[in-house]
Structure 1
Amino acid sequence: MKRLKCYILTIVALFSLAGYAQTDPLNGKRIAVIGDSYVKNHVDPMENTWHYKFARKHGMEYFNYGINGSSMAYTSPRWGTAMYIRYKEMPDNLDYVFVIGGHNDSSKLDSIGGLDVFKERVGILCQGLIERYPAAKIYFFTRWNCKDFQGSNAEKIVDAMIEVCGNYSIPVLDCARQGGIYAHSDAFRKLYFQRPEDNAHLNSKGHDRFLNVAESFILKH
């Protein structure tokens, strides 16, 4: 099994507003984000991602466990160990855990063994995170939508994540339907994605747009 390259960054707040660090309840908290290229950020700098910007804004210690091509439920010879296994390589004593995934599982349902196996493995991930980080706040984020989303494997994966996370009382943001990211739109992708033909990877402007949605969801919970 390939050793994971973990990007660890201590976020130093650049703001000097009087009392901000003392009043922000997230300041100094430890956050780890595990996922696929939505987390690694594909070919763009990781510092452009919304979750890095969120951590920086709030003065948090940030750990990035994103791997391009990674799946939640499928261990790939090329892309490495599935998230439901490799979450164990994250550090102890985390205050926040974000799980961002499902995009690559959508095209690998046959290799995974079907939707029921996917749900079972996401359940293993949920239970494992709760047991390892009982005091942490855990959040899941689904993939974006896509062209012909309705009835597709992408929709099935999104709905499966929502169902399983609900069984474990874990908040999950349905980014496909509530994220404000129109990955099915050619015009939208030209503005907010790393490449016009890309339907997965936001550019810096796209991450800024989604940050507002994600931050509202996180702080609400």
Structure 2
Amino acid sequence: MKQLFLSVLLAMGTVVAVCAQQPLAGKRIGVLGDSYVRNHREPVENTWHYKFAQRQGMQYYNYGRNGNCISIDLNRWGKAMVNRYQEMNDSLDYIVVIAGHNDATRLDSIGIDLFREKLTELCDGLIDRYPCAQLFFFTPWMRADNDVNAHNFEAVVDCILKVCASRAIPVFDAYHHSNIYAQNDRFRDVYFQNGRRDTAHLNARGHDRFLPIAEHFIMQYIALDK
């Protein structure tokens, strides 16, 4: 009997220890975005955000769509994020938006004013729909200086930083501050899905490289949110 009692106590202690190590266990995280989220042609399970959710014991919802924009609907790539965020799960504890790449590549036709307007609408809509959730935003990677759209990416990232700051939404500025050197050909050969021809899509190795950076960024705010 004594041995049984000790076994029960040990089991309870293990459960408590696991819960202490995984304060987010059972929480719901939704990730909204483009092919950075959908992971282009590779499994979603390779992404850093899926792996983060698994490590934390969270319920994971992927709302990524290849080619998707924040600001405009596209015949091939579907409704813009500003028009489809309401299709997400009604109950989410954490929301991560990873977006802006496809808006930047089309910014000459979209215009920065419309992008800012729709980004603001998306941020306000997420706050209103999920007033108790913690929101996060991740910008696109840096572009090479000789890239024809480099200046548009800088404009989009700057807009994301300013709009999110005005709404107190934490932003990870992956354009200026990450361990992903997307402007370098040899780096992309190792860490991107299509090598140096690809400037957007991390492979499994690339996601593993970025995971601890992204996890540290998110967890510092979650610690404050306990």
* Structures share fold, TM-score greater than 0.5: yes
Q: Distance in 2 between matches of 1:174 and 1:52?
A: 20
Alignment partner of 1:135 is 2:113: no
Alignment partner of 1:116 is 2:113: yes
Report what 2:5 is aligned to.
Answer: none
State the AA in 2 paired with 1:198.
D
Q: Distance in 2 between matches of 1:36 and 1:17?
A: 37
Structure 1 length normalisation: TM-score? 0.89
Structure 2 length normalisation: TM-score? 0.87
State the AA in 2 paired with 1:58.
Q
Q: Distance in 2 between matches of 1:213 and 1:73?
A: 28
Alignment partner of 1:191 is 2:177: no
State the AA in 2 paired with 1:184.
Q
Residue 220 of structure 1 and its aligned partner are, at CA, apart by: 1.2
Q: Distance in 2 between matches of 1:166 and 1:149?
A: 29
How many residues align? The count is: 205
Q: Distance in 2 between matches of 1:21 and 1:39?
A: 28
> Is the helix fraction higher in 1 or 2?
2
Q: Distance in 2 between matches of 1:32 and 1:18?
A: 26
Report what 2:33 is aligned to.
Answer: 35
Residue 23 of structure 1 and its aligned partner are, at CA, apart by: 4.0
Residue 18 of structure 1 and its aligned partner are, at CA, apart by: 7.0
Report what 1:211 is aligned to.
Answer: 211
Report what 2:173 is aligned to.
Answer: 174
Q: Distance in 1 between matches of 2:19 and 2:103?
A: 39
Unaligned runs of 5+ in 1: 1-15
Q: Distance in 1 between matches of 2:207 and 2:19?
A: 24
Residue 101 of structure 1 and its aligned partner are, at CA, apart by: 0.4
Report what 1:54 is aligned to.
Answer: 52
Residue 102 of structure 1 and its aligned partner are, at CA, apart by: 0.6
Q: Do 1:21 and 1:59's aligned partners in 2 also have CA atoms closer than 8 Å? A: no
Unaligned runs of 5+ in 2: 1-13, 222-226
Q: Distance in 1 between matches of 2:15 and 2:102?
A: 41
Find the residue that maps to 2:175 and give its secondary structure.
Answer: helix
Q: Do 1:102 and 1:157's aligned partners in 2 also have CA atoms closer than 8 Å? A: yes
Aligned-CA RMSD value: 1.6
Report Cα offsets for 1:54-110 as digits up to 9, x if no partner: 000000000001000001111111101101110000011100000000110011113
Q: Distance in 2 between matches of 1:141 and 1:147?
A: 19
Moved over 4 A (4+): none
Report Cα offsets for 1:151-205 as digits up to 9, x if no partner: 6101111111001001111001100111211000011001110111111000001
Q: Do 1:35 and 1:66's aligned partners in 2 also have CA atoms closer than 8 Å? A: yes
Q: Distance in 2 between matches of 1:116 and 1:135?
A: 29
State the AA in 2 paired with 1:169.
A
Report what 1:200 is aligned to.
Answer: 200
Report Cα offsets for 1:5-62 as digits up to 9, x if no partner: xxxxxxxxxxx88722344221110000010000000011110000000000000000
Identity, in percent, stands at 52
Q: Do 1:103 and 1:154's aligned partners in 2 also have CA atoms closer than 8 Å? A: yes
Report what 1:6 is aligned to.
Answer: none
Q: Do 1:74 and 1:111's aligned partners in 2 also have CA atoms closer than 8 Å? A: no
